[in-house]
Amino acid sequence: MRGRLPRNTRGYAVIPPPKNSKEKALLDAMLRVDHAGEYGANRIYAGQMAVLGRSQSGPLIQHMWDQEKEHLKKFNEILAENRVRPTALLPFWNIAGFMLGASTALLGKAGAMACTVAVEESISEHYNSQIRALMELDPERYRELLQIIKQFRDEEMEHHDTGLDQEAESLPGYQILKTAIQVGCKAAIYVSERI
């Protein structure tokens, strides 16, 4: 019996083994980009905290960052369990995320919140597309992964709504900044799925 699982124990925690190479490639890309997104979000909040951590906005930013830390922790676990390599671009996302967070925070609370709205809206839309893909693939088979993605999507939307409540739209040039950040997010999603 050594090395064997008891009969009533499954051999995975969240994601069952893929049925074929196409499904493996899809799941690997999905997990890789989700991990990269949560990593980038952590770095953005780190940059915001470096600038605004001691301001009145600090506790709110810290709360959102704490949730992002939990998201990243979960995707670290899922990547390891499924032997999926993270994106090779993590060193770049490390610097780019921090710089985006810090530079928008230098514009003040409204700048940090505008960044939060843009990024979290992009991430939520991306999570929604993954939910649709998994529902089409096999919702029962991927029930646990769907639950995780839905929970994280809901928390990202909470951050988005918090940013709006904190007057992100009052920033002069809000729409231009939001659009630029979202173009960057879409590019980051595209390359992180592949590299």
pLDDT band at 11 (very low <50, low <70, confident <90, very high): low
Q: State which residues form the domain around 46.
A: 21-193
Whole-angstrom Cα distance, residue 48 to residue 111? 10
The H-assigned helical ranges of 53-142 are: 58-81, 90-105, 109-137
Domain membership of residue 101 (yes or no) is yes
pTM: 0.89
For position 19, what pLDDT does the model report? 85
Domain-embedded: residue 77:
yes
Exposed e or buried b per residue across 139-164, where buried means at least 16 C-beta atoms within 10 angstroms of its C-beta: eeebeebbebbeebbebbbebbebbe
- Residue 6 domain flag: no
Q: What is the CATH number of the domain that holds 160?
A: 1.20.1260
> Computed over its alpha carbons, how large is the radius of gyration of the chain?
18
User: Does residue 1 lie within any of the structural domains?
Assistant: no
Which pLDDT band, with edges at 50, 70 and 90, does 17 fall under? confident
Quick one: tokens of 63? 């709360």
* Overall number of domains in the chain: 1
pLDDT in tens, 28-70: 999 999 999 999 999 999 999 999 999 999 999 999 999 999 9
Do the domain assignments include residue 14? no
In a domain, 3, yes or no: no
Whether 126 has a binding-site annotation, put simply, is: no
* 36 falls within a domain: yes
Phi, psi of 95 (to 5 degrees): -75, -50
| Per-residue model confidence (pLDDT) at position 149 | 96
Task: Tell the residue number behind the tokens 């799925």, with chain if given.
Answer: 193
Asked if residue 135 is part of any domain, the answer here is yes
pLDDT for the residue 10: 52
> Residue 63 annotated as binding?
no
SS3 58: helix
The answer to the question of whether 68 is labelled as a binding residue is: yes
